[in-house]
């Protein structure tokens, strides 16, 4: 594989990342080629030592998604981190995906229950004092506030759980990739 073939495939695999990030990564791999050629190796030997550019691009995209999550901690960054881990292919999707989908389904169910409880608390707070609620208007106000406060607390716990889940997935992916990397590197060096 020539330098231009390698770089074209690497850039194609990095599509979707910010242009500055793609240019920085491409410059790093161009430097690998320059150093290798300066050391007397052919472009094909350098490309073989670097490995499959498509796989390399998946790993670089995954790392970018994981770093984004570590700095931003928002739903968009969480989705990027989850998809980066799944796109890496370093984990057994047949095992992880059903577990992840079950947990996400439960979390969505709890989310809708929290929203419903908050809305119900608001209705009790707003309407309860005027419809002759048991215990009087003060009891209706306090019951409405209690429902809204409980829903807010449950929503907060749900958000903390979601952050914990994404952090755990990121940790698992990095640990799993580190365990696989030593087994992959000798194969790549054997081809060089």
CA-wise closest residue to 175 among 91, 111, 95: 91
Sign of CA dihedral 14, 18, 22, 28: negative
Q: Is the pLDDT of residue 7 over 80?
A: yes
**Choice between 66 and 157, residue whose per-residue pLDDT is larger:** 157
Q: Where are the alpha helices (DSSP H) in the chain?
A: 3-13, 19-38, 43-50, 53-72, 75-88, 93-127, 136-191
Task: Give one DSSP letter per residue of 144-179, joined into a string.
Answer: HHHHHHHHHHHHHHHHHHHHHHHHHHHHHHHHHHHH
Using a cut of 0.75, tell me whether the model's pTM lies above it: no
Alpha carbon 56 to chain centroid distance?
Answer: 18
In the prediction, which pLDDT does 33 show? 87
Write down the mean pLDDT value for the chain: 81
As a whole number of angstroms, the distance between CA 18 and CA 175 comes to 26
**Residue range 132-183, pLDDT digits in tens:** 878 888 999 999 999 999 999 999 999 999 988 888 877 776 666 654 444 4
Mean pLDDT on 11-25: 84
């Amino acid at each position: 594989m020539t330098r231009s073939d390698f770089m074209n495939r690497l850039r194609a695999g990095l599509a979707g990342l910010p242009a500055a990030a793609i240019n920085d990564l491409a410059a790093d791999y161009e430097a690998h080629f320059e150093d290798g050629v300066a050391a007397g190796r052919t472009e094909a030997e350098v490309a073989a030592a670097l490995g499959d550019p498509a796989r390399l691009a998946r790993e670089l995209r995954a790392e970018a998604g994981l770093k984004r999550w570590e700095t931003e901690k928002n739903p968009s960054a969480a989705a990027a981190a989850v998809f980066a881990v799944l796109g890496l292919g370093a984990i057994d999707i047949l095992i992880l995906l059903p577990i992840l989908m079950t947990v996400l389904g439960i979390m969505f169910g709890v989310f809708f229950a929290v929203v419903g409880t908050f809305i119900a608390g608001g209705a009790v707070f707003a309407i309860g004092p005027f419809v002759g609620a048991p215990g009087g208007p003060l009891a209706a106000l306090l019951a409405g506030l209690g429902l809204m406060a409980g829903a807010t607390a449950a929503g907060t716990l749900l958000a903390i759980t979601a952050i914990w889940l994404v952090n755990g997935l990121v940790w698992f992916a990095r640990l799993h990739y580190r365990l696989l990397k030593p087994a992959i590197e000798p194969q790549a060096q054997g081809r060089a």
